[in-house]
Structure 1
């Protein structure tokens, strides 16, 4: 995971399921790999993330997607940073915590102001690429959803505004949810009354915050880690091999990469597609050989070989012995 990216958790799939939208359809439309959510956490560049959002908006056919998502907010579908915010004493403290951990949310900044007792949160975006207006609307509306979830009260913002606010039916849908229209402003901002900013969170839990805080620190440290291409190739092969697909082209397509890019990234990790393929097949072969109910011929097919003789030659090259000898030793 690297800085400058939006991070998504596997719970994103649950959110899409609630919308009745196929995760695979969204990822394909966005040109992203279908194995994306097999990872524990996902990091997308702004361009990738915005393509994913645009694909979700198109497939759902919902012009007020942000409002719809806000109405489906549940604590268990939050990322840890936002779940930890629910442990705060009130909305003001939750905003301060989220601002401190804003890098976990993506390449955006949060400016929190308590002006005259009112609580205002302004969202600052990178200049390029600009986010879709509907996503900006969602980010603003999510603060209202957080306040309502924490207080269990129908909190209504004093003001909510953004560049290019939604109009027409979408604008009305947002107003129906928020209780106020989305106005025009140079920067996205949502403002709450002093009372709502200080209203106690029924979800406040200091002990749970002490549990989450080390995890948040760890995730901040993880931002500089990069996902191994070799690991992604291996995960793809685990699914493709039983179907007889073991080519670099098939794996590259699964990972939404060109074959040349796949080979280049593996070379940068001091390995190659053939080396990863061989290691994956060898590990799987050892696993299958420990299961006597699977014949040698079946193992060859599960590993993507057309003929058992090809598997015999490869296994001997890997281990210096035959599959039958290895099975006898294992049992």
Structure 2
């Protein structure tokens, strides 16, 4: 799904201020991006322009890792937009991350998927409503800001467990020193893994009064943005981010949409569908997308769309497509699938 708002991205003034602090002229970035110089004063840009600006910064700074670390550390908290600034007033690191993921929905093109399991908390970066992947430096700076959020909020030099990137990020040793953990390149996704125990750390920046002011305003803006879109498509998008390893229930989706279970059910009914049907659609669409990737075996695809056993996935897929996942892959890829 792609909406009008998805291609209108706000660049916070703090970005340009940060570049100046690094000794880089914003107009030089605009020229490198082959964009009008007036882009520096434009509050809203398209996704293509947004990516071009980040790529230009990356090209001018030289090493990707250097660009990530410098901007992440020099960027002043006070320069963040309200959607991000509100996270610094959170009660603890977990609350801050959840607020970040929630309000990121208003700030395309990237989105965050948070999963807590065992001793780990993983935060995976995904691209929202766009087929184009962002520049490597933008990926790196997004994950760096998430760790920076914890460090500044708790006042502690927190370290990640591991950071995974799908592309090369330049000086790996510099990144390992910054994140305080191993860095993996050429991974299947872009993901930051934290120590789950760190999420319980209280924020020294916690401000209940400011949260009481900001939260209703941001929630209302988020609700209005959701209201302008099909609730079916929004629910499906959330489900696709939540399928891995289990069956998400309606409470998860309703909570992320900022509404009650009953309200979500009613709005889906008004759009002539149901939660069960939307869940099935999400699984079906994700299954086809994953099967188109020959690096994923069938068992892994089943897990990624929420089936604990492969047989259940096979039965569901036969209902959807009238054939087995293996045969579908063979027909559509024109090659033999990987051994299952």
Aligned-partner SS, 1:81: helix
Unaligned runs of 5+ residues in structure 2 are: 229-340
**Match for residue 53 of structure 2?**
52
Compared CA separation, residues 62 and 215, structure 1 to 2 (3 A): farther
1:180 equivalenced with 2:181 (yes/no): yes
**Which of 193, 196, 199 is the aligned partner of 1:194?**
196
Q: Does 1:146 align with 2:149?
A: yes
Larger radius of gyration: 1
Q: CA deviation at 1:121?
A: 1.1
Question: How far apart, CA to CA, are the structure 1 residues paired with 2:69 and 2:99?
Answer: 24
Alignment equivalent of 1:122, drawn from 113, 121, 124: 124
208-217 or 188-197, which deviates more? 208-217
Q: Single out whichever of 115-124 and 154-163 deviates more from structure 2.
A: 115-124
Structure-2 separation of matches of 1:212 and 1:78: 14
Name structure 1 gaps, 5 residues minimum: 226-331
Counterpart position of 2:68: 66
Cα separation, 2, equivalents of 1:118 and 1:99? 17
Cα separation, 2, equivalents of 1:11 and 1:219? 22
Higher relative contact order (CA 8 A, sep 6+): 1
User: 2:9 is matched with which residue: 6, 9, 30?
Assistant: 6
Note if contact 1:140-1:189 (Cα within 8 Å) is conserved in structure 2: yes
- Distance in 2 separating the partners of 1:14 and 1:148: 21
How far apart in 1 are the matches of 2:78 and 2:14? 8
3-state SS, counterpart of residue 189 of structure 1: strand
Q: Deviations over 1:204-242 (max 9, x none)?
A: 1121112222442465457999xxxxxxxxxxxxxxxxx
Deviation at residue 144 of structure 1 after TM alignment: 1.0
Per the normalisation by structure 1, the TM-score is 0.61
1:155 — aligned with what? 158
Q: TM-score, normalised by structure 2?
A: 0.60
Contact map agreement 2:159 2:181 (CA 8 A) in 1: yes
Any idea what the Cα deviations from partners look like across 1:143-199, whole Å, max 9, x if unmatched? 1111111011110001211212424xx212111211113214311111111221111
Shift of 1:86: 0.7
Considering only aligned residues, what root-mean-square deviation do their CA atoms show, in Å? 2.4
Deviations 1:270-325 (A, max 9, x none): xxxxxxxxxxxxxxxxxxxxxxxxxxxxxxxxxxxxxxxxxxxxxxxxxxxxxxxx
Aligned position for 1:216: 218
